[in-house]
């Protein structure tokens, strides 16, 4: 005999999935430390992260060092430090990533600094203030919606089976009431409609903050500049618009070409790693470069490595999305997550075989992957 008890399993699945969707949605919307918009007073590197993600932070910090003659970037893409005292945590991350030799190729340096705790912490702070959406939480919300779709599919499947089996019972059993699957379907579909995830990593508050700085006039950050340093307007333009916007004011074609080339190289490596991951790579981690966001300002992000770094992305000035995966100088091939059981955004080590591995054998990206592929690898 087939009756309404046939729908106990799909009902449990739907209710559990609805509760999970509600929980993850609340986490996405939660702002731990709400504050008023700082207007034009947002620090330089925080503005860079808000406008363009970890990649923009690195570009801005390196140009800041270059303008202050603390670092030299050659046309061939080698960064040489000329100063050994960091101004802030991002400067320290750059110096640490360069290493004791005092020079390093721009590509792998960029990847390591993007994954550093200092850069990832900027994203955490902006998310805590409600200016950015945390990519890990967005990922969980999208996962919850997929599970709810599966639960809705289970209701449809059980509905068909129940009526087919009731028909085979030659009318001796009780037919299931039609309203039961209808209610379950309505609950699931309404929840899916109401919980559509927000598009883009920047929240409405973050967009308003950007508009307060993008007034059509040169923006000079109130903090984040070296003491007695010049070039505040150039760095402000770079933070908000990237190298493509600030290039003319920067007036240094060698620096601009080297940095844009490094960003393009990293984007290509990340896309190759993503294709390899989706092509059936082994391992239990997620893809190390899955695009997670695209916002109205043209920034795009790559997330997601399931490791320590969450803010894995940011717009590059080549027009492509760049993640914070690994980059090896002169690499000719990319490999996605290997066979390790815990995957991070990538390994920063350079290999003589000429290959770039997007996932290492540890669970951190660099020394950590901050709160986005971060401390919470971005993003």
pLDDT tens digits along 17-48? 999 999 888 888 877 777 767 666 789 999 99
Assign 61 a pLDDT band (cuts: 50, 70, 90): very high
* pLDDT tens track for 315-329: 444 444 445 544 333
Instruction: Provide mean pLDDT across the span 214-222.
Output: 83
Mapping DSSP to helix (H, G, I), strand (E, B) and coil, where does residue 296 land? coil
- Beta strand 355-357 with 333-335 is parallel
Lowest mean pLDDT among 51-65, 97-111, 156-170: 156-170
Assign 117 a pLDDT band (cuts: 50, 70, 90): very high
Integer angstrom CA distances of residue 275 from 119, 272, 297, 299, 334: 26, 5, 26, 21, 9
Per this entry, what is the length of the chain? Answer: 379
Percentage of residues in the chain with pLDDT exceeding 70? 66
Q: Which residue has the higher pLDDT, 166 or 233?
A: 233
Q: What stretches of the chain show up as alpha helix (H) in DSSP? A: 8-29, 44-67, 89-98, 106-115, 117-128, 135-168, 179-194, 204-213, 232-241, 243-250, 253-278
The distance from CA 282 to its chain's CA centroid, rounded to whole angstroms, is: 22
d(CA 162, CA 49): 54
Ramachandran area for residue 216 (φ above 0: left; ψ -120 to 50: alpha; else beta): left
pLDDT score at 378 = 37
Would you give the DSSP letter of residue 32? S
- The tally of CA atoms less than 13 A away on the side-chain side of residue 376 is 31
pLDDT score at 282 = 40
* pLDDT tens track for 336-377: 333 333 333 333 333 333 333 333 333 333 333 333 333 333
Q: Which residue has the higher pLDDT, 212 or 345?
A: 212
Q: Residue 160: pLDDT above 50?
A: yes
Q: What stretches of 225-373 show up as alpha helix (H) in DSSP? A: 232-241, 243-250, 253-278
* pLDDT tens track for 272-321: 776 765 554 443 333 333 332 334 333 333 333 333 556 665 444 444 44
d(CA 244, CA 240): 11
Q: Residue 77: pLDDT above 90?
A: no
Residue 214 has a CB neighbour count (10 Å cut-off) of 13
Residue 287 contacts residue 337 (beta carbons within 8 Å): yes
pLDDT score at 348 = 39
Q: Residue 49: pLDDT above 90?
A: yes
Integer angstrom CA distances of residue 246 from 155, 230, 317: 55, 15, 11
pLDDT score at 190 = 93
Q: Residue 79: pLDDT above 80?
A: yes
Q: Residue 149: pLDDT above 80?
A: yes
User: What b-and-e string marks burial along 285-318, b requiring 16 or more CB atoms within 10 Å of the CB?
Assistant: bbbbbbbbbbbebebbbbbbbbbbbbbbbbbbbb
Instruction: Provide mean pLDDT across the span 113-117.
Output: 92
Q: pTM above 0.85?
A: no
Q: Which residue has the higher pLDDT, 199 or 242?
A: 242
């Amino acid at each position: 005999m087939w009756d309404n008890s046939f729908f106990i399993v799909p009902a449990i699945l739907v209710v559990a999935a609805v509760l999970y969707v509600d929980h993850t949605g609340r986490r996405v919307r939660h702002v731990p430390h709400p504050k008023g918009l700082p207007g034009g007073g947002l620090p330089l590197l925080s503005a860079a992260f808000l406008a363009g993600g970890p990649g923009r932070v690195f570009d801005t910090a390196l140009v800041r060092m270059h303008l202050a003659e603390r670092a030299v970037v050659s046309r061939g893409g080698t960064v040489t430090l000329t100063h050994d005292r960091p101004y802030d945590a991002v400067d320290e991350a750059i110096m640490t990533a360069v290493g004791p030799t005092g020079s390093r190729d721009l590509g792998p340096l960029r990847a390591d600094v993007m994954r550093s705790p200092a850069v990832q912490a900027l994203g955490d702070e902006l998310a805590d203030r409600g200016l950015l959406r945390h990519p890990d939480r967005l990922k969980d919300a999208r996962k919850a919606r997929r599970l709810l779709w599966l639960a809705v599919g289970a209701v449809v499947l059980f509905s068909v089976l129940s009526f087919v089996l009731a028909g085979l019972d030659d009318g001796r059993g009780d037919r299931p009431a039609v309203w039961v699957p209808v209610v379950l379907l309505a609950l699931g579909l309404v929840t899916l409609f109401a919980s559509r995830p927000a598009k883009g990593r920047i929240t409405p508050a973050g967009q308003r903050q950007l508009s307060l700085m993008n007034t059509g006039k040169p923006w000079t950050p109130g903090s984040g500049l070296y003491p007695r340093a010049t070039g505040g307007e150039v760095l402000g333009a770079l933070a908000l618009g990237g190298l493509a916007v600030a290039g003319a004011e920067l007036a240094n074609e060698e620096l601009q070409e080297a940095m844009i080339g490094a960003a393009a190289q990293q984007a290509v490596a990340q896309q190759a790693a993503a294709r390899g991951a989706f092509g059936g790579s082994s391992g239990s981690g997620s893809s190390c470069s899955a695009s997670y966001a695209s916002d109205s300002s043209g920034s795009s992000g790559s997330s997601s490595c399931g490791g320590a770094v969450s803010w894995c992305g940011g717009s590059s000035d080549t027009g492509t999305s760049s993640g914070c995966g690994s980059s090896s100088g002169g690499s000719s091939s990319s490999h996605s997550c290997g066979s390790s059981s815990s995957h991070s955004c990538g390994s920063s080590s350079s290999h003589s075989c000429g290959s770039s591995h997007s996932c290492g054998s540890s669970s951190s990206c660099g020394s950590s992957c901050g709160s986005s592929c971060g401390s919470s690898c971005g993003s």
